[in-house]
Amino acid sequence: MDAIRISLILSITAYFMSVWLGKKSPARASSLTAGMTILLLIVPILLTLPKWHIQFSWLNQETSSQSSPAPLESSWLTIALTLWVIGSVIFFVRYLLQVNTLRKWISRSTPVESSNIQKLLAETTLDSGLKKKPALRCTPMVTSPVVAGLFRSTILLPENANSWDSTTLRMVLLHELGHIRRRDLWVSHIAQLNCILHWFNPFVWLLRNRLRNQCEFAVDAQIIANGTDAKCYITALCNVAEQLISKQSIPSTALAMADKASLRNRVNSLLTKQKSPSPLMIALLLSITVSSTFALAVIRPQAPSVSLSETQQKPSTY
């Protein structure tokens, strides 16, 4: 039950901290949310650490009045563990199916052979600070640019990408390369693994959705900070979003550039100058959360032991 308790406390804390910081700066909030996501993944490891028992005198009365554990407690724990395993297996299979779907999309896609587009990819890769160009492919399975692949990054473009002007295409490539540079796909996979381990916890799922959304804000802000004209970038975002016929189901193992639901908030964020919280404050919040999580996992309160001589010296009252 310690795992459930820590999972709930940590995820609720992480979610509301992410919401609070997201109102100030959605782009900067992604760092905090990513840190919390990684911390959630190592909770099972923390629970295996040796426990540190600390005695508290106020526990004397409580423990003396408590009866011995009910015989049914172990059976309830067995049932809970069985349900957790079943749920984790179901969501893990679902995760593998999504990975397989994305692999099929990539294998059935066609490489972009246009020399102009490949030249633009080389330029934007250099501008993004990456040493290696990702694969650039085209597929009818997507209506918005998508980046996928942990070890070999691939950018998937919709079929109508050939009709985009050079400015729109440049903005699209900068955006997807921004995800690769920030390692957003790795954090996204970690968030998905959290949903497998903590499938019973709704706040973990909410945190995953916020993380994916905040990654988009962070990449937008990064591109503008690197000198890209905000109006040109916003125009490209709108051009891509306009071509979305319907809300497409993208596997959770990939990141899509644009969707109509978050477009307005992203545009407002780019046009509004917000006072971003300092990295020091984010580091402080993460440090406090890590310390608290470690304490919850390792420290166990314990009533002081009472010796036999002390119990015999107590006067009996009738």
**Res 87: pLDDT:** 95
**pTM attached to this predicted model:** 0.82
Beta bridge partners of 300: 53
Q: Is the pLDDT of residue 64 over 50?
A: no
**Res 318: pLDDT:** 44
Q: Is the pLDDT of residue 303 over 60?
A: no
Percent of the chain residues topping a pLDDT of 90 = 35
Residue that wins the pLDDT comparison between 30 and 246 = 30
What is the spatial distance between Cα 112 and Cα 174, in angstroms, rounded to a whole number?
17
Which amino acid does the sequence have at 192? Q
What is the spatial distance between Cα 5 and Cα 12, in angstroms, rounded to a whole number?
11
Which amino acid does the sequence have at 292? S
pLDDT tens for each residue of 94-147: 999 999 999 999 999 999 988 999 999 999 999 999 989 999 999 998 888 999
| Average pLDDT for 1-14 | 81
**Res 67: pLDDT:** 47
**Closest CA relative to residue 13, chosen from 291, 298, 277:** 291
Tell me 305's DSSP state.
Answer: P
Q: Which of 23-32, 70-79, 187-196, 285-294 has the highest mean pLDDT?
A: 187-196
Tokens of 29: 């909030």
**Closest CA relative to residue 258, chosen from 164, 118, 195, 183:** 164
What is the spatial distance between Cα 23 and Cα 10, in angstroms, rounded to a whole number?
20
SS3 151: coil
What is the spatial distance between Cα 177 and Cα 231, in angstroms, rounded to a whole number?
20
Q: Is the pLDDT of residue 301 over 80?
A: no
Q: Is the pLDDT of residue 2 over 90?
A: no
Return mean pLDDT, the chain. 82
What is the spatial distance between Cα 224 and Cα 266, in angstroms, rounded to a whole number?
12
**Res 257: pLDDT:** 79
Residue carrying structure tokens 């028992």: 53
Say which residues have a Cβ less than 8 Å from residue 268's Cβ, sequence separation at least 6. none
Residue carrying structure tokens 């979003």: 241
Question: HEC profile for 180-245?
Answer: HHHCHHHHHHHHHHHHHHCCCCHHHHHHHHHHHHHHHHHHHHHHHHCCCCHHHHHHHHHHHHHCCC
pLDDT tens for each residue of 149-190: 998 999 999 988 888 889 999 999 999 999 999 999 999 999
- Confirm if 198 and 40 have CB atoms less than 8 A apart: yes
> Cα(first)–Cα(last) distance of the chain, in Å?
41
109 backbone dihedrals φ, ψ, rounded to 5°: -85, 165
Tell me 48's DSSP state.
Answer: T
